[in-house]
Each structure stands twice: as structure tokens, then as C-alpha cells.
Amino acid sequence: MSKNTDGGWGETVRTVIFAVAIAFGIRTFAFEPFNIPSGSMIPTLLVGDYLFVGKFGYGYSWYSMPSILVPESVTGAKAESCDDVPGRLFGRMPERGDVAVFKLPRDPRTDYIKRIIGLPCDRIQVIDGVLHINGEAVKRERVDDFVVGEMLGRQITVTQYRETLPNGRSHLILEQLGDQGELDNTQVFVVPPGHLFAMGDNRDNSQDSRVLSQVGFIPMENLVGPAQIIFLSLEEGTRFWEFWKWPTSLRFSRIFDGVE
């Protein structure tokens, strides 16, 4: 009886250790959970969305996996041309339009999520709210307004556009302040080799690469990975651990939506 009991406990311990090892491996090499704390990516992502980031999407850097596993030769690499992807093991260039998580250049402890708009050596400018890439205006089509809430029985809406990038990928953006917001007219930004330019979809409520002193150009090595799928979505103000509120705060229609 004692032998069987000991064997049962031993099997349980081995199972738990095996499960923990698998979970650690998945989080280290494959997927990392991320939650949306601000409205800078509305309407694509809402405050209270929880999503998985694919850590293998752009290869690995010491920001996306334990630094001891990334060779020093990779970590110290510098871009020599516009096509180089420095600082990454098995590196792959992001696609224009990807929604990606990255470490903030001025504070690598902070995660940001934005849309990749500019690739290395691109020239980016915003003129009267219209994005320009390499001197060409990006197509922008007015669509139905986005509903942000309700007051006194009336809907509160924001101007919404569908923006189509040069590679054909399209997404929705908001212009809360029309086309004359603080960041709706910018200088020409020339993206350095080995860097990216990212913007929020909520254009008048996003601190992004347009603000050089706060975000600026994003080094390739700072990428964690592309956002892939929403696995949970809770109404703003509901904490993840407040499971007793889930029946009324879950946004069921967003669960398992891909991030585009």
C-alpha cells in the first residue's frame, strides 16, 4: 500500500514538473500573453483585450527570449543595408501593417504595441492627417463612424477611416480631432537601417514613432513579436482575476479574433 502511494505521489510530481517545463518552454520560445492597457490601438484593439504574441514571428532577440540563449555575435550586430535584420536569431523582416509588441527604446522594461508603418530606409510623413510613405499618399476611405459610448441616450461617435497600405493590407483608424491634431502634420521621418516606424490606429490618441523624444524609431532587436489572436476580452475596468464579473463583462464576440 505504501509503495503504491509513493508511486502515485512520484507520478504526480513528475507530471507537474513536466507541465511546468512545457509551459515555460511555450512562453519562452512560442507565445507570450499581453493585455491592452490603453486606447492607442482602438478600433483594432480595445482596453481589456488579452492576446497572444508569437515570439517566433520575427526570429529571436535578447528582448524576446533569455539573453543567454542569443549568441553575442547576434546581439551586437549592426545593420549594413536596408534589408538587414540585426540583433535577431533567425531574423525576419516584419511586414508593413503588422501589429507588433516591442520594448520601448528609451525604457526596455516597458512593452508597447503599435502597427508597423515604416520599414528601414522608408520616408514617412503625415500631412493633414493623411499618411505618406516614400512621398505617396496612402489611400484613406471614410467609413461609418466608430461608436465610443453613449450619453443622455445619444451615441458618441468618432470619425473612422479605412487605410490601405502600399502592400494592400488595410485596417481601420480613428481621427478623434479631425485632421488638425497635434500629430496630424509632421516632419519627414527617414527610418534608419535596422529600425522600424510604428503608429497607433487611434491616430490622435497615440504616443508613437511620430514622437521622437518618447518613442521614435524602433530597433529591430526590440521587437517581441507580432500580435496574433485575442484569447480573452473584458469590458474596460474589469480586472483579469475578477472572474465573478466575467458573465457580464466578457466581450464574447472578440474572443479568438485574429489581430489584423
User: Known catalytic residue: 55?
Assistant: no
d(CA 12, CA 227): 35
Q: What is the pLDDT along the chain (260 residues), one digit of tens a residue?
A: 444 555 566 665 554 554 444 444 445 556 789 999 999 999 999 999 999 998 888 988 888 776 556 666 677 788 889 999 998 888 899 999 999 999 999 999 999 999 999 999 999 999 999 999 999 999 999 999 999 887 776 888 999 999 999 999 999 999 999 998 999 999 999 999 999 999 999 999 999 999 999 999 999 999 999 999 999 999 988 888 888 888 889 999 999 999 99
| DSSP symbol at 234 | B
Active-site entry in 40, 61, 209, 233: 40
Fold type of domain 32-254: Umud Fragment, subunit A (2.10.109)
- Annotated active-site residue 61? The verdict is no
Q: How far is CA 210 from CA 10, 112, 171, 205, in A?
A: 57, 14, 19, 12
Catalytic one of 55, 61, 103, 114: 114
Q: What burial letters (b/e) apply to 59-82, b meaning 16+ CB within 10 Å?
A: bbbbbbbeeeebeeebbebebeee
- Compute φ and ψ for 202, nearest 5 degrees: -90, 80
| pTM confidence score | 0.86
